[in-house]
Amino acid sequence: MNATLQSWLTENLQALKDQHLYKVPRILETPAGGRVRMNGREVVNLSSNNYLGLANHPKVVEAARKSIEEWGVGAGAVRWIGGTMKVHDELEERIAKFKNVEAVLVFTSGFTANSGCIPAVLTSDDVVISDELNHASIIDGVRLSPAEYRKSEGWVYGHKDMNHLEDILKRAGNFKKRMIITDGVFSMDGDIAPLPEIVALAEKYDAFVMVDDAHASGVLGRNGAGTTSHFNLYGRVDIQLGTLSKALGVVGGYIAGSRLLKEWLINRGRPYLFSTALPPMVAAALIAALDIMENDPEPMNRLWDNAKWWKESLASLGFDTMGSETPITPVYCGEEEKAVRMEQMLWEEGVYALSICYPTVPRGRARIRTMPSAAHSREDLEFALEAFKKVGRSLGVIPSTAEV
Ligand SMILES: *Cc1c(COP(=O)(O)O)cnc(C)c1O
């Protein structure tokens, strides 16, 4: 072991601990669900993205099992070298139809879809104009590209600030291409991007739009087809990213757009070119998950029923859910210490809900992030609400006189 590296690691791990940024994942001892056992404790889990409960839906599991029996467990190679199977093509065709676009290219995760697509469509003659609250995988994708984007140079706009976006577009006329990129649903706040306004500005200033719908897939739009569907902007959003790992319950990501875009990414998307294809059982499970999303409205209805009940109940107790419009429901705490303490106390009450602090969100805007889902029964959420009431009162997050 190199001593310099070892001491560097020790020092920097200690620094993370000192700043309360050190992470220790808890261990799930049961399948992902609304109520789980974690680190030996039964808890209501409010920190999963399994929106529709598809991660262990019997039909999805059965599709994976049948695929394993027929095809084994691995694809064996990157897609273009010999890893593309019929089931990969079928999955892409199914998603393209679902999203109502010409073509879809699947990657092994949403993260790699961002880091593959963004640098592939940009050169040093271009500029990226990005919402300040965009997801880390967008930021990494942008960093991998040679295009101009730095915040210090003014190419990042205030969260959903359309006047700011327009000011930037007015200054960006000299670049060859202008890309506006935004989360469809913001992952830490649960609010929705003003996509109609973004698209209108893009059309006015000759920019193209990429929307990351990781948290909108399965949640917004027709059968969960995302923000483009939600706002009826078909044909006006150039690049849509989706994940197959959240509402769809398995793993993977995709880029949806034109046939030319797909053709380009097959040739220039580096994670597509250099990372092994998804296992065929994953693709088969995802086709089964899509079948459910397209034909059974029940999981999405239950998701929204639960989300509305959860938000209204929290608000009636006096909690601030920070303008969330989707199932992602932040519960505002403010100071980092208060959020961390609240997470610990909720855990002791049998509720797993993670605190989210700086640098994931701005300093002084710490929160507990909750994710009600179709996998929760109303009893699960009632149980969690009691815990929030008790802990919120004791920490002074809500007034102690609040009534349900
Ligand atoms: C989770 C997430 C991703 C990454 O998707 P994975 O499939 O989990 O890699 C990308 N963008 C946003 C906004 C996300 O929330």
- What is the arrangement of strands in the sheet containing 355-356, beginning at the earlier edge strand? 329-334, 366-370, 355-356
The token pair that represents 162 in the structure block: 């359309």
**Average pLDDT of the residues in 255-284:** 97
Q: Which CATH number fits domain 75-278: 3.40.1010.10, 3.90.950.10, 3.40.640.10, 3.40.50.300?
A: 3.40.640.10
In the annotation, is 376 catalytic?
A: no
* CATH class of the domain whose range is 20-53+297-395: alpha beta
Give distance in angstroms: CA of 243 to centre of ligand 1. 6
Q: Which of 61-65, 80-84, 151-155, 168-172 has the lowest mean pLDDT?
A: 151-155
- Closest C-alpha to ligand 1, atom 6: 110
The alpha-helical segments, DSSP class H, found in 124-210 are 136-143, 162-171, 195-204
Query: pLDDT tier at 19 (50, 70, 90 boundaries)?
Result: confident
E strands present in 228-360: 239-243, 253-257, 329-334, 351-352, 355-356
Asked if the bond preceding 271 is cis, omega within 30° of 0, the reply is no
Which residue among the candidates 215, 230, 262, 376 is catalytic per the annotation? 215
The answer, yes or no, to whether residue 404 has pLDDT greater than 70, is no
The predicted-structure confidence for 338-349, as pLDDT tens digits, reads as follows 999 999 999 999
In the annotation, is 135 catalytic?
A: no
Query: Domain extents for the chain?
Result: 20-53+297-395, 75-278
Q: Which amino acid is at 260?
A: L
% of the chain beyond a pLDDT of 70: 99
The answer, yes or no, to whether residue 60 has pLDDT greater than 90, is yes
Query: pLDDT tier at 154 (50, 70, 90 boundaries)?
Result: confident
Q: Which sign does the torsion angle of CA 48, 54, 56, 61 carry?
A: negative
**Average pLDDT of the residues in 227-244:** 98
Mean pLDDT of the residues in the chain: 96
Q: Is 368 touching ligand 1 by the criterion CB < 6 Å?
A: no
How many residues in total does the chain contain? 404
Query: pLDDT tier at 403 (50, 70, 90 boundaries)?
Result: low
Query: pLDDT tier at 21 (50, 70, 90 boundaries)?
Result: confident
Residue 193's CB is within 10 A of a number of other CB atoms, namely 24
**Average pLDDT of the residues in 330-345:** 95
